Amino acid sequence: MTADQTARWKQRLLLVGAGVSGALALPPIGLWPLLLVAVPLVLHQLERVPGGRQAFGAGFLVGLGYFVVALHWIGVAFLVDAATYLWMMPFAVGGLAAFMALYWGLAALVAWGLIRRGVSLALGFPAVLAAAEWLRGHLLTGFPWAAPGLAATGMGGVLQLAALIGMTGLSLLIMLWAAMPFALWRGGRERWLALAVLALMPLAHVWGQYRLASHPTALVPGVTLRLVQPNIAQDDKWRAENTRVIFDTLKELSFRPAQGAPVTHIIWPESAVSFFIDESAEARKELAEGLKGETVLLTGALRRDVRPDGSESLFTSLIVFDGTARPVDHYDKWRLVPGGEFLPFESILKPLGFRRVVTVPESFEAGPGPVSLAIPGAGKTAPLICYEVIFPHRLVDPKNRPQWLLNITNDGWFGRSAGPGQHFAQARLRAVEQGLPLARAANTGISGVIDPLGRVLARSELEDRTTLDVPLPLPLPATAYARYGDGLLAGLIAGVVLIGWRWRKSL
d(CA 472, CA 226) in angstroms, rounded, equals 10
Give backbone dihedrals phi and psi of 265, rounded to 5 degrees, phi first. Answer: -140, 130
> Among residues 47, 133, 190, 270, which one is catalytic?
270
Rounded to an integer, the average pLDDT of 68-74 is: 93
**Cα-Cα-Cα-Cα dihedral sign, residues 259, 260, 262, 264:** negative
What confidence tier does 361 reach under pLDDT thresholds 50, 70, 90? very low
| Residues in contact with 132: Cβ distance below 8 Å, sequence separation at least 6, in sequence order | 103, 104, 106, 107
Mean pLDDT of 238-243: 90
Residue 251 is among the residues annotated as catalytic for this protein? no
Residues with Cβ within 8 Å of 425's Cβ and at least 6 positions away in sequence, in order, are: 26, 27, 28, 150, 153
Amino acid symbol at 5: Q
Which of 388, 423, 386, 426 lies closest to 408, judged by CA? 386
* Catalytic pick among 237, 386, 388, 433: 386
Cβ-based neighbour number of residue 398 at 10 Å = 12
| Buried residues in 415-426 as b, exposed as e (16+ CB within 10 A) | bebbbbbbbbbb
Of the pLDDT bands very low, low, confident and very high (cuts 50, 70, 90), residue 3 is confident
The pLDDT of residue 344 = 56
Inter-residue contact 82 to 72 (CB < 8 Å): no
Is cis: bond before 446, omega within 30 of 0?
A: yes
Give the dihedral of Cα atoms 75, 81, 87, 89; nearest 10 deg: -10
Residue 348 has pLDDT above 50, yes or no: no
Nearest of 114, 117, 119, 116 to residue 131 by alpha carbon:
114
The Cα–Cα gap between 410 and 272 comes to 8
The torsion angles phi and psi of 297, rounded to 5 degrees, stand at -115, 130
DSSP-assigned letters across all residues of 228-264: EE----HHHHT-GGGHHHHHHHHHHHHTSPPSSSPP-
pLDDT band at 498 (very low <50, low <70, confident <90, very high): confident
365 is catalytic: no
- From the candidates 190, 237, 333, 388, which is the catalytic residue? 333
Contact 301, 329 (CB under 8 A): no
The average pLDDT across 118-138 equals: 93
Residue 330 · residue 319 · CB < 8 Å: yes
Lowest-confidence segment of 16-20, 23-27, 94-98 by average pLDDT: 94-98
Model-level pTM greater than 0.85?
Answer: yes
The strand pairing partners of 299, in sequence order, are 319
Higher pLDDT, 75 or 221: 221
Instruction: Give the pLDDT score at 251.
Output: 98
Q: What is the pLDDT of residue 352?
A: 44
Distance (Å, whole) CA 418 – CA 413:
12
Q: Report the percentage of the chain scoring pLDDT > 70.
A: 92
- N-terminal to C-terminal alpha carbon distance within the chain: 40
pLDDT of residue 79: 67
The Cα-based distances of 457 to 34, 239, 298 in angstroms read 29, 35, 20
Residue 80: what pLDDT? 63
Q: Is the pLDDT of residue 252 over 60?
A: yes
Stretch 219-234: mean pLDDT, rounded?
A: 96
Task: Provide the pLDDT for residue 211.
Answer: 98
Mean pLDDT of the chain: 90
Helix or strand holding residue 438 (H, E) = strand 438-442
Span of 11-25, 162-176, 189-203, 387-401 with lowest mean pLDDT: 189-203
pLDDT tens, 138-191? Answer: 998 899 999 999 999 999 999 999 999 999 999 999 999 999 999 888 766 778
Query: Where residue 15 falls among pLDDT bands split at 50, 70, 90?
Result: very high
List Cβ neighbours of 409 (8 Å cut-off, separation of 6 or more).
269, 270, 385, 386, 387, 389, 423, 440, 441, 442, 443
Ranking 69-83, 109-123, 175-189, 438-452 by mean pLDDT, the lowest is 69-83
φ, ψ for residue 220, nearest 5 deg: -70, 120
Which of the four pLDDT bands, split at 50, 70 and 90, describes residue 237?
confident
Q: How far apart are CA 180 and CA 182, in angstroms?
A: 5
Across residues 242-270, what is the average pLDDT? 96
Q: For residue 191, what pLDDT is reported?
A: 82
